[in-house]
Amino acid sequence: MDADFIVVGAGTAGLPAAICAAERGATVLLFDGETEIGGTLRYARELSAAGTQQQQKSDIADSPDAHFAEVLTLAKGEANEAVLRLAVDNAADTIAWLERLGVRIDPETPQIVFNHEAYKTPRTYWAVDGGSEIVAALARRIAHFEKSGHIRLRLGTSCRSLLYRDGAVTGVSVRDAEGRDRRYYAGKVLLSTGGYAANQLLYRHFHGVDQILDWAPHYARGSGLEAALDVGAGLTGENGFNLSFGAVMDGNGPARKILCRLNTLPQLRQPWEIIVNSEGKRFIREDEPSIDAQEQALMHQPGYCGFMLFDDRIHREAPDRMRKWYVPDATEDFERHAWFFSAGTLEELADAAGIDASGLETTVRRYNEAQVHGSDPLGRQHMPAPIATPPFYAIRFQGCNVISPIGILTDATLRALRANGEAIPNLYVAGEIIGSCQLMGRSAAGGMMATPALSFGRLLGETLAFTRLDRSETQQLTETG
C-alpha cells in the first residue's frame, strides 16, 4: 500500500481528516485538483454549534438535543437523522478544536443571524477573518505533518476514478500536475471533493433546470460524486431542491452573477412594497418572518421568480430596500440595471417587466383596498401606504442556490452506501459530497454545511487512522463524539 489513508479533496472535510489521521501516526496521501488547499472553506462564514464554551460564558442555555430538534423541524423530517445527530453532537468539540489550532472565534458570537431561517437560540459563530483564517490554521498543521512525512500533499492532482477489486475500494487513479496518470493504494479512501453546483450539465440532469447563478467555485463539479457512482454508490436528496429568496441577477440567462439582494426580512426592515409573481399575483404575505416560508413559497412560482412592486411615494419614503449590493458602487438605478423597471402606468410596467398586466392591476387594486381597511387577505399587518402614485417600479428577483442537495448516501459512520443500504468496503464520504439534504432536507440552516464537514473530517481522521477498523467503526465514531 502507498498509505494508510487516501483523502481526495483538501477542503473543509479533507483537511481535518488528514490532520487528525496524521496526529495518530497514520500515513496520509492528500490529493486536490487545485493549486492551493482550502476549497470552499475559504468562502465559508457561518459555523453552528450547541453547548459551546462561548454559550456557557454568556449564560446561553443550549444543547445538541435542542439543536438537533430545531434543524430536524426545519428539515420537515427529511434529514438523515443519524447523520444529523452525528453532526450536532460533535459541533461544539469542533469549535473547541479550531480554537486549539489558533482560530480566533469572533468574541461577539454566538449570535442569531438571518441569512437562513434563524435559530431560536444564539448558536452561530464565525472566525474573526472568516473561512480564510480557518484555512490558514489547518495549513500550518498540514505543513507540520508534511515535514514529518505523515502527510504527502499532491496539489494539481485530480481524481480520475476509484480503484475497485472484489467488491471493495482499494485506492484511486489520479492525473497529476504533469498530466501523468498514476494509481495509489490505501486501506481506506475518503472522498471529500465537494458539490456539483458549478457543473451545469450535472445540475440540469439532477434538477431539470439551469444553474442560473455563477457563484460556486469552478471546481465544484461533482467529480467525487461521479467516481462514487461508478463503483455503485447510491444517491440521496433527489427531492431536496430548494432556492433562496430575493436575489437580483445582473442580467438574463444561466450562470449569472448576483447584482444585489433585496431586504425581505421583517426582522430587519418592515415591508412597504408588495411581492408578486409573473402572473401579477401576490403569493406570500410580505411581512412573513420565516425565511423558510418565503423560500418554499417561491418554489411554487413560475420560473422561480418574483417581483418587488412599489410606487413613487414608497420609492421616496420607505427605508432602504437593498440588503446587500455585490457590485462595488452600484446604486438603485432603474435605467441602468436589467432587472429594475419603471413606468408611468401599471400596464406599461407589467409590459416592461414581463408581468401579466390584468393580474397585476387586479392585485394592486385589492391590496390598496386592504390597506385602506387594515385587513389583508394574506394576513399582512404592516401596510403603511397604498401603491397609487406614479411612476411605478418593479425589481425582479430569482430563486437560486450554490449548494448541492443531492449527495452520496451514507450512514452514521460516514461509509458510502449502495442504494440498498449496503456499505461499499473502504469508501467514506464527508463534506458537500453527501448532499445538503441529508443534513437539512429541503431547507437551509445556518452553519449546517461547513461545521458538519469539519466535524466529519475530524472524526474520520481520528477513527480511520489505521486500516483494520472494520469490526468497531460505529463504536469508535460514537466514542469520539
Mean pLDDT score, 158-185: 95
Quote the CA–CA distance of 469 and 205 in Å, as a whole number: 37
Name the nearest CA neighbour of 104 among 121, 127, 74.
127
Whether residue 433 is predicted with pLDDT greater than 90 in this model: the reply is yes
DSSP tag of 415: E
* Residue 466 confidence class, pLDDT cut points 50, 70, 90: low
Q: State the architecture of 244-400 in CATH terms.
A: Alpha-Beta Complex (3.90)
- The residue written with cell numbers 462514487 in the block is 228
pLDDT in tens, 347-377: 999 999 999 999 999 999 999 999 999 999 9
- Which CATH number applies to 3-238+403-480? 3.50.50.60
CA 143 distance to own-chain centroid = 29
Strand residue runs (E) in 253-304: 258-262, 274-276
Render the burial of 125-157: b for 16+ CB within 10 Å, e for the rest: bbbeebbebbbbbbbebbeebbeeebbbbbeeb
Asked if 42 contacts 194 with a C-beta cutoff of 8 angstroms, the reply is no
6, 21, 27, 151, 158 from 3: Cα distances, Å:
7, 11, 5, 9, 17
> What is the residue extent of each domain of the chain?
3-238+403-480, 244-400
pLDDT in tens, 11-53: 999 999 999 999 999 999 999 999 999 999 998 989 999 999 9
How many C-beta atoms lie closer than 10 Å to residue 231's C-beta?
17
- First-to-last CA distance in the chain? 29
Set of cell numbers at residue 376: 389583508
pLDDT in tens, 75-94: 988 999 999 999 999 999 99
% of residues, the chain, pLDDT over 90: 85
Whether residue 477 is predicted with pLDDT greater than 70 in this model: the reply is no
Maximal CA-CA distance, the chain: 77
Residue type, 326: Y
Quote the CA–CA distance of 433 and 13 in Å, as a whole number: 10
